[in-house]
Amino acid sequence: MKGEFGQECNRRVCQNKPAIWFNLSTRKYYCPDCAERINFENRNDQFVKKHGGFLCVEDTKGVLK
């Protein structure tokens, strides 16, 4: 299932596994490459500024659901 822990990345154009990076906004999982891209593209986003960190954080155990 796309966007689920350890499965396919949640990005529509990506099928990479395992998705172990959790997006704190969408509440879905992404592969490392897409998570890095999301974090870079949203580095000036209001969410990031408000919470003082990146949108995607690594979650190797699947506990952030």
pLDDT of residue 47: 77
Q: How far is CA 57 from CA 20, 34, 43, 64, in A?
A: 9, 12, 13, 9
Whether 10 and 19 have beta carbons less than 8 Å apart is answered as yes
Question: Taking the domains of the chain in order of start, what are their residue ranges?
Answer: 1-59
The torsion angles phi and psi of 29, rounded to 5 degrees, stand at -105, 145
The tens-digit pLDDT sequence of the chain (65 residues) is: 999 999 999 999 999 999 999 999 999 999 999 999 999 999 888 878 887 889 999 999 999 98
